[in-house]
Structure 1
Amino acid sequence: MSNVLVIRDFKTVWQKANALEREIEALVKGFPSHEQYRLTDQIIRSSRSISANIAEGNTQLFIKRELFHANAALGSCGETRNHLLTAYQNHYISEEQCKTLDEKFLEVIKMLYGYIKMLKSCLDNESVTIDP
């Protein structure tokens, strides 16, 4: 490993993911009570997992571990998008709500792709990474 110090700012994508998490939590308050331990719980868990994985990955000492968590965050985005579609299909949310949230999740996904690309670049350069 070289002694190159790379400081990454994960906060932009984390903030977007965190904002979506809060939107989802507000949205599910309108879901039927019989979904409390099914769809409601699943969509809250998957949306929380996005920002949690970004933050957890950023505190890792090794880029490969951070990449693992960034990929997990991508997976949680896909899972949450699936739950949104299920909510729409069951008429718990409107088509407009589904479309608007899906566009926001696509934005986070694109940001994560960029983040992963940057991490892979750091890995290729064998950089030591630290985020204060």
Structure 2
Amino acid sequence: MHTYTYSCPLRWADADTYGHVNNALYLRYMEEARTRMFQQVLLADAAERRWHSFVVSRAAVEYRVPLLYREDPVDVCVRVAQRRSVQFDLAYEIRDAQHVYAEGTTTIVAYNLDTRRPRRLTGTELTFLDRYTTP
């Protein structure tokens, strides 16, 4: 197993009046990492992507240490915590070398946008997820 790591830039507008990164933005950082991670497995054809999409059905964040705005990016580390035939859970750490700022999870459902229904994960998707699955 290995972890996907995304170097996430902080934006000045991410900070509140105290200089802390706003708590809602942690979900955006998780989304940015997940989106870049899944570019490796998304289909090129737009119609095919509609039939083989993913939606978030649950998200949770545990805040550990306040993240102050700075020029340096933070790492968003992503791994597959659990996978089933239709959905999987991703676990995240938002961190740098000194601190884990937050830990989060999302439950992702394989979804067909045209039928508006869940679908089974394909063999290609399962193989992709296995690369990041916690043993």
Same fold (TM over 0.5): no
Instruction: State the TM-score, normalizing by the size of structure 1.
Output: 0.27
Question: More relative contact order in 1 or in 2 (CA 8 Å, sep 6+)?
Answer: 1
Whose helix fraction is larger, Structure 1's or Structure 2's?
A: 1
Instruction: State the TM-score, normalizing by the size of structure 2.
Output: 0.27
